[in-house]
Structure 1
C-alpha cells in the first residue's frame, strides 16, 4: 500500500532527529482516509529546540521523499517538546511541498487527544496539553467569521474544487462542534450538509469527487457554466449560513 510505504520511509528518514513522537491526525487518524485523495496530516515532536540545522535536516528529508507516491500529500508540523503547549506558537511545517511556520490549531490538538494515531513514540496525552474548555468553540467561531466569511466574498476562489469542498465541509463540522461539542470527519460532515440547507447538487458533486467507489479514473466532464453555477450556489449558501452561525454562537 503506497501510504504505508511512504510512512515507513518517512519514519526511517526521521530517525536521526530522535523524535519523541510522531502522530497522525485528520482523516488518516479519524477513519476517513482515502488513498490518493486525502492528505497525510502528521505531527512530529522533537526532544530539542528547532534550530537552523533542524530546518535543514527536515528540508533534506522531504526533498528525499519527492518522487515517492503520495509524497506531495504528506504534511508534517514539527514541535519541540518544551514549547508544544504554546497554542500561539508557530511551528516549523512542511506542507504543499514547502517549509513555513504555522500554529497547531485547537481543532488539530483536539483531534490528537480524541483519536490521534500514534505512529511512533509516546501518545499525545504524554506530550501535548489538552485544549482548555471553550478554546475549541472560540476558535471555530473565529475561523468561520475571520477567515471563511471573508473568503466567501472573493468570487475567484469558488471556481476551484478545493474551496467548494473545504468551505462546505468546514462549515458543517463547525456547526456540529458548536452544537454538540464534538468533532466529526469530513465524510460525516457531508452527510450533515443537506440537513443544514446546503444546495443538493453541490453536495452531490462533492460526494462524487471525494467519495465515489471506485475512484474516478478521470475527472467528470465539466463546463464553465456549471463551474460558475456551482460557485454561485456555494457562495449564496455559505455567506448567510456563516452569518447566522456567528450571530448565534459568536
Structure 2
C-alpha cells in the first residue's frame, strides 16, 4: 500500500532527529482516509527546537521523499515538548513542497486526543493538554467568521474543487461541533449537508469526486453560484447563534 510505504520511509528517515512521537490526525486518524485523495496530516514531536542546519536537513528529507507516491500529500508540523502546549504558537510545518509556520489548532488537538493514530513513540496526551469544549467551539466559530465568511465573497475561489469541498465540509463539521461539542469525519459531514439545506447537486458532486463515483457534475460557474448563495447566509446564521 503506497500510504504505508510512504509512512514507513518517513519514519525511518526521521530517525536521526530522534523524534519523541509522531501522530496522524485528519482522515488518516479518523478512519475516512481515501488513498490518493486525502492528505497525510502528521505531527512530530522532536526533543528540541530545529537549528538552521537541522531545518536544512529536514527540508532535504522531505524533498527526497518525492520519489514515493503520495509524497506531495504528506504534511507535517514539528513541535517540541516545550512548545506543544500553546495552541496559538506556530510550528515549522512542511506542506505543499515547502516550509511555513502554522499553529496546531484546537480542532487538530482534539482530533489527536479522540482518534489520533500513534505512528511512533508517546501518545498525544503525553505532550498536549486537553482541549476545553469552550476553546474548541470558540475556535470553530472564529474560523467560520474570520476565514470562511470573507472567502465566500471572493467569487473566483469557488470555481475550484478544493474550495467547494472544504468550504461545505468544514461548515457542516463546524455546525455539529457548535451544536454538540463533537467532531465528525468528512464522510459524516457529507451526510449532514443535505439536512442543513446545502444544494443537493453540489453535495452529490463532492461525493462523486471524493469517493470515485462516475457521473457529470454541475458546471463550475453554476456550482460556484450555488455554493456561495448557500454558504454565506448559512455561516452568518451559524456564527450569530454562537455565544
**Consecutive aligned runs of 4 or more in structure 1 exceeding 4 Å deviation:** none
The corresponding residue for 2:145 is 145
Matched, 1:238 2:231: yes
Q: Are 1:50 and 1:80, in contact at CA under 8 Å, matched by a contact in 2?
A: no
Which residue does the alignment assign to 1:208?
A: 208
Corresponding residue number in structure 2 for 1:9? 9
- SS of the aligned residue for 1:22 comes to strand
Give the length in aligned residue pairs: 243
SS of 1:228's equivalent? helix
CA distances 1:87-111 after superposition (whole Å, capped 9, x unpaired): 1111000011111000000000000
TM-score (norm 1): 0.95
Instruction: Tell me how far 1:221 sits from its aligned partner.
Output: 6.0
RMSD: 1.2
Match of 2:108 in 1: 108
1:177/1:183 contact within 8 Å kept: yes
Give the Cα separation in 2 of the matches to 1:243 and 1:174. Answer: 13
1:168 aligns with 2:168: yes
Matches within 5 A, 1:86-105: 86-105=86-105
- From 226, 243, 247, give the equivalent of 2:240: 247
In 1, Cα distance between the equivalents of 2:192 and 2:76? 29
Which stretches in structure 1 are left out of the alignment for 5+ residues? none
For the residues of structure 2 that align with 1:190 and 1:133, how far apart are their CA atoms?
23
Whether the 8 Å CA contact 2:87–2:104 is kept in 1: the answer is yes
When normalised by structure 2's length, the TM-score is 0.97
Residue of structure 2 in register with 1:31 after alignment: 31
